Amino acid sequence: MARLAGWLLALLLVLGGGAAAHAELTRFPAPQPGTAGGPGEGGVLVIYSSTDLEFIRPLIEGFQALNTDVEVHYHLLPSLELYNRVLDEVQEQGRTADVLLSAAMDLQMKLANDGYASALTPPRGLPEWAVWRREVFGFTHEPAVIAYNRDGVPPQDVPGTREELRRLLETQPERYRGKVATYDPELSGVGFLFASQDARRSPVFWKLVDRLGAAGVRLYGNSVEMLDALAAGEVLIAYNVLGSYARAHAERLPQIGIALPRDYTLVMSRLVLIPKAAVRPDLARRFVDFLLGADGQRIVAGAAHLYAILPQIEGELTAKALRAQLGPALLPIPVNPGLLLYLDQDKRRRFLQQWERTLDDTPPPPGR
């Protein structure tokens, strides 16, 4: 059977983060249907995506401004549901969506690795680590950050590294007990990605997990719920939260502060691919060319708040700005088969067992 089984099926309804449990369709009518306003003959472009509509809308509108005769159907799905829908549709109908956008780097890589993706030529300047076999491409450059509540965390307490966060929780257990948050790696695909990367890169990661357990860490399945709790003061520090969502919240809510870890800052890329079974591969190529090109990347860094990946794009929310600020501490997660490691059920189960053991085995503070 083509569909992923076991843990993947068990998490079908929850892995998508902020997206709804079932597909939500938003139609973007062609600005000038039936005209020669676009470079082609028009039609309908179908996109399956795990990215919330508020972030992707500016990109669709920017694409349609250059392709005025193209209607876009945007289906918002949890990342695992997106993956399984594609497999089912290809098997049952021989066709599926024209473009797939997902923050689940591992599942996008698996589709490409299993032969479901078409090849196309990426634009010049796209980093080599963000391209695999000319079939799957990173189009964002989003850091994992430490977000905090400015009203509840004094400046001297703001952690700048994982070791500083560990020490803060160890030396001020009462102040921060029940006030620290991170993703639940059993429920969040992005959370699992960040945690598993931390385990491979940080010598203090499991010591930090131990301190998180002692602090009564609150675990969340998606970014929005965690940041809403942070803004309300229900938690004071959120570890490894997706930087794009944190920035969008911080622009509306001045009590939210953001710290980029100085020991290293992980960078996740949302991945785009065109299925071989796309109904309109011509429109799909035009959309991906726009998304990865300078015009689309300027929107990624601007109205979309998703951090541009092209190194020549200027602005605060860009790979260039992050590199200038962090230098070698900036660590992008490469688009390669290494992402498939934890799709192995045994490896994933062992990692989650160690996570739960480390959280649960922490002795409570004295007097509790």
Which CATH number is 130's domain given? 3.40.190.10
Residues 238 and 320 in one domain: no
For the chain, what is the total number of helices (H) and then of strands (E)?
14, 14
Establish if 2 belongs to a structural domain: no
Residues 324 and 224 in one domain: no
Calpha distance 185→193 (Å, rounded): 8
Residues 168 and 48 in one domain: no
* 3-class secondary-structure state, position 170: helix
Calpha distance 288→120 (Å, rounded): 9
Residues 15 and 137 in one domain: yes
Positions in the chain short of pLDDT 70: 1-22, 35-41, 361-368
Residues 127 and 148 in one domain: no
Residues 180 and 263 in one domain: yes
Establish if 92 belongs to a structural domain: yes
Domain enclosing residue 311, as ranges: 7-141+269-335
Among residues 231, 322, 309, 329, which one has the least CA distance to residue 269? 309
- pTM of the predicted protein model: 0.85
Establish if 105 belongs to a structural domain: yes
Residues 111 and 150 in one domain: no
Residues 115 and 14 in one domain: yes
CB under 8 Å to 265, separation ≥6 — which residues?
Answer: 143, 144, 145, 322, 326, 329, 330, 331
Identify the pLDDT of residue 292: 96
User: Taking the mean position of all CA atoms in its chain, how far away is CA 40?
Assistant: 32
Identify the pLDDT of residue 319: 95
Identify the pLDDT of residue 3: 47
Total count of domains within the chain: 2
Identify the pLDDT of residue 89: 97
Residues 80 and 225 in one domain: no
